[in-house]
A and B are shown apart, each in its own frame.
Chain A
Amino acid sequence: MKKFALYKLAISNLRRKMVRSILLLLLATIVSGTLLGATIFITGMKNALNIGTYRLGADVLVVPSENEAQARSALLAGKPTSFYMNSSVLEKIKEVEGVEIASPQLFIEPSSFTCCYSVDLFLIAIDPVTDFTVRPWLKNNQHQSLQGNQIIAGRSLPIMTESVIPFFGTLFTVVGTMEPTGMNFFDQSIFMTMDAAYAMAENSITKSMQPLKLEKGIISAVMVKTDGVINPDRVATRIMYALDGVKAIASDEVISTVRKQLSGLLTGIMTVSMVLWAMALFMIGFAFYMIVNERQRELGMLRAMGAKRQHIFLLIVFEAVIITFSGGLAGLGVGFGMLFALQEKIQQSLQLPYILPPPAVVRELVAASLIFSICTGLLSSLIPASLASRLEPYEAIRKGE
């Protein structure tokens, strides 16, 4: 060692008042962790929304007009529901100008689930021939047309491929699982064919304690893919003009509703985070103002030893940055911990889709969080460090007596 490093003195100073240093570190940890957790969560929701918009597949969703709210709730939050309309609407929808594909879906809300799972699952019957919404979510090697009593499970369900599960007294075999979508509508659903659903309902009369009342030929919704020439909003309007008793919802409209919710949430979270950060900035700054006051004599002595103004400035800044950077590092653990512990509950209460951002984005957010924590230390110590550096050595030594 050729000379004593200033940062060692900064670390030594922090060790001197260990309780105060730990409290400041905790504050920096909480702020940093909250900001990181909130940022990753918001990014995750945006990510899910972007993927969802792209992969939802259907440009227009047609449901019974009196069940619009339930349909939105099912689509956005995956809330199990059941409502029905006659399948004759399907042929009429296919005839509307601008409709390229129309595929029916039947929603069944299980009243009993004989297995051990407590999750809210949703049974959705599809037409494998015309379906275009589930297919994109299937891994290539698992892709196959459903037949008989075969089902596909959403990613959030703790169900293994090839396992056999009973619904309403009928046994079904899991032939595939979907990729994670971030939307409960897909992630917590079981998909089967329409024929299997009708057969299950018929069997339930004799085989199930709670029979499923489902008439053959009824459906819950029609997923519509437009031809790309006519705007989905206009296609939706045309469908409602052509058919009585149905509500056609353009998916853009659904997504824009989520975006509005997300925008409000984002503003709220960011406001709270910024207030929290400003308070931390003030508290750390005030703590260092007191530290400078109580260490005046020592700072004067350092000036007498030959410390320049910038040495004193750097010493105080180092101390603050060591605290906030360490808090930033600890905040990574707190942030991810909070995220994984609470994400499901928050997601459920907000009823918004969520997917963890890709690793590259998470890495960027982590780096940004650490840079932010360094900036917090710099900013909070700016005034105390500046005051400390301007002390006249003799005055500082005298005042400290």
Chain B
Amino acid sequence: MIQTINLCKSYRISGQVIKAADRVNISISTGELVAIIGHSGSGKTTLLSLLGGLTKPDSGQVLIEDLNLWSMNDSRLAQLRNKRFGFIYQFASLIPTLTALENLYLPTAFGKGYDDLKNRAMDLLQKVGMNDKADFYPSQLSGGQQRRVSIARAFINNPEIILADEPTGDLDEETEAEIIDLFKTMNQERGTTFIIVTHNKSIAQQAQRNFSMRDGDLQEN
């Protein structure tokens, strides 16, 4: 379970204080698929980063199974991100000079690795329908195909929680539907928790629970 207690984060831009997270309290159970919806600048990406331990809150706590993320030192926090979190971004996040398969291997550079790494990676590529393009470089793949590879990469360490920031932001409707179906399948088959940040209401409606965010304030719909 991932939980936040009075989570606050603000930025000072041109002398003005912007509240990105204003006393956010949320509790998400293991295996849930939730969506956070909101306009640009509402604070949803910041909240996702706070949940994933990528940025430190001004106050409040982020708990993973009762373990406060920010009570850990940087090294342990990095280990936790490596083992328990998977991140999916809206932008092209593949390394252009690595093949699809090598991009999948990348997170293992920071962990213990696996004896069956290649099989593991190929299984994931098969899951996202990209096993026949394992040796392709990102420039040889379409935007949707690249997104599929980055989704597969997020699963290489079999994380408990996937944090997806506008995962279908720049994709056409058909590919968007395929990606959301893929999330649902992974959620059901693996019991992985999904927290998806989006401004797309139709995606939010497919989640088990959805939240709205406005000026750093989070409300469950």
Interfacial residues, chain A to chain B (CB-CB below 8 A): 1-6, 8-9, 12-13, 15-16, 297-298, 300-309, 311, 392-395, 397, 401
Contacts and interface: CB of A to CB of B under 8 A. Distances in A.
* Most chain A C-beta atoms within 10 Å of own C-beta, residue among B46, B106, B112, B157: B106
Nearest to A14: B97
Contacts of B97: 12-13, 15-16
A2 B105 CA distance: 9
B111 interface: yes
B101 to A, nearest CB: 10
A393 B51 CA distance: 13
B87 interface: yes
B108 to A, nearest CB: 4
Contact of A311 (B96, B109, B114, B117): B109
Interface string B108-123: 1111111101100000
A8 B98 CA distance: 9
B49 A12 contact: no
B54 A308 contact: no
Contact of A5 (B81, B96, B109, B157): B109
Contacts of A8: 102
A121 B75 CA distance: 72
A16 B138 CA distance: 12
Contact of A298 (B74, B78, B83, B95): B95
A311 B110 contact: yes
Nearest to A2: B113
Contacts of A13: 95, 97
Contact of A1 (B93, B98, B106, B118): B118
Contacts of B52: 304
Contact of B109 (A6, A300, A394): A6
B82 interface: yes
B107 interface: yes
Interface residues of B, number: 37
Given A3-B117, A12-B95, A393 B107 contact: no
Given A3-B114, A4-B105, A392-B55, A301 B87 contact: yes
A304 B54 contact: yes
B81 A306 contact: yes
Contacts of A308: 74-75, 78-79, 110
B62 to A, nearest CB: 13
Nearest to A3: B113
Contacts of A298: 95
Contacts of A1: 105, 117-118
Given A3-B113, A301-B93, A306-B81, A9 B106 contact: yes
Interface string B45-60: 0100100101110000
A305 B89 contact: no
Contacts of A397: 49, 54, 89
Contacts of A305: 81-82, 87, 106-107, 110
Q: Report, nearest first, the 4 A-B pairs whose CB atoms are least far apart.
A: A306-B82, A3-B113, A394-B55, A4-B105
A2 B87 contact: no
Given A12-B95, A306-B83, A3 B111 contact: yes
A301 B157 CA distance: 15
Given A2-B113, A306-B83, A395 B55 contact: yes
Nearest to B78: A308
B2 to A, nearest CB: 16
Contacts of A394: 46, 49, 54-55
B55 A393 contact: yes
Contacts of B78: 303, 306-309, 311
